[in-house]
Structure 1
Amino acid sequence: MTNLFKGKFFYCVGEDLNNIVNKSDCLSANYHWERKEYNFDSLLQAMLTLFVMYTKDGWVNIMYDGLDAVGVDQQPIKNYNKWILLYFLSFMMMSFVLLDMFIGVMVQTFHQCQLIQTQEDEELRNEEHLSGSQGTEGESPEREQTPSFEGSWMWYLLYKICTSRALELSVTVIVIINVLLMGVEHYNQPEVINKVIDCFNYVFMIIMITEVLLKLVVLGVVTFIKDCWNLLDIIIILLSIVSMALTQLRMTNVIPFNPSILRACRILRLSQVLKAKTLRILLKTINKTLSQVWNICLLSLVIIFIFGVLGVELFGELECSPDYPCLGLHRNSNFHNVPMAMLTLYKVCTGDNWSGILKDTMRKCRPDDAKCQSFLFWVSPLYFSSFVIIAQFMLAYIVIASIMQALKDSEEEAETELRRQQIFPSAEGNAEISTLDQTDNRSTPSDSISL
Structure 2
Amino acid sequence: KNFDFAVLMLILINAGFLAADWPWSVSPCTTKPCDTHSLVLYVSDLIFTVVFTCEICLKMVAFGPKNYLKGVANLMDVFVVIISLIALFIPILKVVRSIRVVRLVSLLPALLVSVQALFMAVPALATVNIVIAAVWFLFGVLGTQLFMGRFWHCSNAGTPVMVGRADCLPPNQWVQQRWNFDHIGMSIASLTIMSWGEAWEVFLWDGMDSTSGGILSGSYLSPLAGVFFVLFFICGSFLCLNLFAATLIDEFLRNQDEQAGLTEGQKAFLRNVKVMLHSTLPPPTAMPANPLRKSIFIMVNKDWFELVISSCIIMNMIFMALEHYEQTETWTKVLGAANLVFVIIFCCEAALKITGFGMRQYLLNRGNVFDFFLVVISLAGLPFEDAPGASVLRVLRVFRLVKRYKSLKMCFEALLYALPHLVNILQLMLMVYFIFGVMGVQLFGRIDYSHPDLQAMYPQGLNHYSHSGDLPRPFLTLFIVSTTEGWSLVMEACMLRPEGCELTNTCGSSVAGPYYIIFLILTAAILINAIITTVLAHFSSAQDNGQRLLGEARVRWALIDPGRTKR
Using the size of structure 2 for normalisation, the TM-score is 0.62
Matched with 2:372 is: 234
Matched with 2:546 is: 416
Identify which of 225, 238, 249 aligns with 1:96: 238
Give, as a single letter, the amino acid of the residue that structure 2 aligns with 1:343.
L
User: Structure 1 residue 24: deviation in Å?
Assistant: 2.4
Determine if the alignment matches structure 1 residue 332 to structure 2 residue 429.
no
| Residue correspondences, number | 399
Identify which of 255, 266, 279 aligns with 2:408: 279
Name the SS for the 1:33 alignment partner: strand
Determine if the alignment matches structure 1 residue 402 to structure 2 residue 534.
yes
User: Structure 1 residue 417: deviation in Å?
Assistant: 3.6
Matches of 1:70 and 1:207 in 2, distance apart? 71
1:298-447, aligned counterparts within 5 Å? 298-320=427-449, 321-324=451-454, 325-327=456-458, 328-364=461-497, 366=499, 369-370=502-503, 376-377=509-510, 379-412=511-544, 415-420=545-550, 429=559
User: Structure 1 residue 165: deviation in Å?
Assistant: 2.4
Matches of 2:477 and 2:367 in 1, distance apart? 42
Matched with 1:297 is: 426
Matches of 2:445 and 2:263 in 1, distance apart? 47
Whether the 8 Å CA contact 2:371–2:400 is kept in 1: the answer is no
Matched with 1:36 is: 177
- Relative contact order (alpha carbons < 8 A, sep ≥ 6): 1 or 2 greater? 1
Whether the 8 Å CA contact 1:7–1:71 is kept in 2: the answer is yes
Identify which of 110, 114, 118 aligns with 2:252: 110
Whether the 8 Å CA contact 1:365–1:372 is kept in 2: the answer is no
Name the SS for the 1:11 alignment partner: strand
Matches of 1:238 and 1:145 in 2, distance apart? 22
Identity %: 22
Matches of 2:316 and 2:552 in 1, distance apart? 38
Give, as a single letter, the amino acid of the residue that structure 2 aligns with 1:67.
M
Matches of 2:484 and 2:178 in 1, distance apart? 18
Give, as a single letter, the amino acid of the residue that structure 1 aligns with 2:402.
L
Matches of 2:481 and 2:323 in 1, distance apart? 41
Whether the 8 Å CA contact 1:9–1:65 is kept in 2: the answer is yes
Q: Can you give the 5+ residue segments of structure 1 that lack an aligned partner in the other structure?
A: 126-140, 436-451
Whether the 8 Å CA contact 1:362–1:376 is kept in 2: the answer is yes
Determine if the alignment matches structure 1 residue 166 to structure 2 residue 304.
yes
Distance 1:425 1:271, change over 3 A: closer
Give, as a single letter, the amino acid of the residue that structure 1 aligns with 2:427.
L
Distance 1:119 1:174, change over 3 A: closer
User: Structure 1 residue 48: deviation in Å?
Assistant: 0.7
Matched with 1:49 is: 190
Name the SS for the 1:24 alignment partner: coil
Query: Could you give the per-residue CA deviations for residues 12-51 of structure 1, whole angstroms, max 9, x where no partner exists?
Result: 1026834x22x2211x242011111111111111111111
Give, as a single letter, the amino acid of the residue that structure 2 aligns with 1:159.
F
Give, as a single letter, the amino acid of the residue that structure 2 aligns with 1:290.
L
Matched with 2:161 is: 17
Matched with 2:228 is: 87
User: Structure 1 residue 288: deviation in Å?
Assistant: 2.3
Matches of 1:359 and 1:331 in 2, distance apart? 17
Name the SS for the 2:153 alignment partner: strand
Matches of 1:297 and 1:309 in 2, distance apart? 18
Q: Can you give the 5+ residue segments of structure 2 that lack an aligned partner in the other structure?
A: 1-142, 268-278
Matches of 2:220 and 2:327 in 1, distance apart? 50
Matched with 2:216 is: 75
Distance 1:295 1:370, change over 3 A: same
User: Structure 1 residue 245: deviation in Å?
Assistant: 4.1
Query: Could you give the per-residue CA deviations for residues 189-244 of structure 1, whole angstroms, max 9, x where no partner exists?
Result: 349x83x6666555544432232122113212232123232222222222332233
Matches of 1:187 and 1:33 in 2, distance apart? 55
Whether the 8 Å CA contact 2:287–2:357 is kept in 1: the answer is no
Deviates more, 1:78-87 or 1:285-294: 285-294
Name the SS for the 1:82 alignment partner: coil
User: Structure 1 residue 111: deviation in Å?
Assistant: 2.6
Query: Could you give the per-residue CA deviations for residues 122-175 of structure 1, whole angstroms, max 9, x where no partner exists?
Result: 9xx9xxxxxxxxxxxxxxx77557544472565443222122222122123234
Give, as a single letter, the amino acid of the residue that structure 1 aligns with 2:247.
V
Name the SS for the 1:34 alignment partner: strand
Whether the 8 Å CA contact 1:172–1:269 is kept in 2: the answer is no
Identify which of 150, 158, 161 aligns with 1:8: 150
Identify which of 254, 261, 268 aligns with 2:396: 268
User: Structure 1 residue 404: deviation in Å?
Assistant: 0.7
Matches of 1:155 and 1:17 in 2, distance apart? 87
Whether the 8 Å CA contact 1:239–1:263 is kept in 2: the answer is no
Query: Could you give the per-residue CA deviations for residues 353-379 of structure 1, whole angstroms, max 9, x where no partner exists?
Result: 1111222233356467345699933x3
Identify which of 216, 228, 251 aligns with 2:354: 216
Root-mean-square deviation over aligned CA pairs:
3.4
Identify which of 288, 304, 313 aligns with 2:417: 288
Matched with 1:130 is: none
Whether the 8 Å CA contact 1:274–1:283 is kept in 2: the answer is yes
Matches of 1:289 and 1:159 in 2, distance apart? 37
Whether the 8 Å CA contact 1:10–1:75 is kept in 2: the answer is no
Matches of 1:428 and 1:375 in 2, distance apart? 69
Whether the 8 Å CA contact 1:10–1:74 is kept in 2: the answer is no
Give, as a single letter, the amino acid of the residue that structure 2 aligns with 1:60.
E
Matched with 1:189 is: 329
Give, as a single letter, the amino acid of the residue that structure 1 aligns with 2:431.
V
Matches of 2:336 and 2:438 in 1, distance apart? 57
Give, as a single letter, the amino acid of the residue that structure 2 aligns with 1:303.
V
Name the SS for the 1:106 alignment partner: helix
Q: Which one has the largest radius of gyration?
A: 1
Whether the 8 Å CA contact 2:497–2:508 is kept in 1: the answer is no
Using the size of structure 1 for normalisation, the TM-score is 0.77
Distance 1:404 1:367, change over 3 A: same
Distance 1:74 1:429, change over 3 A: same
Distance 1:203 1:361, change over 3 A: closer
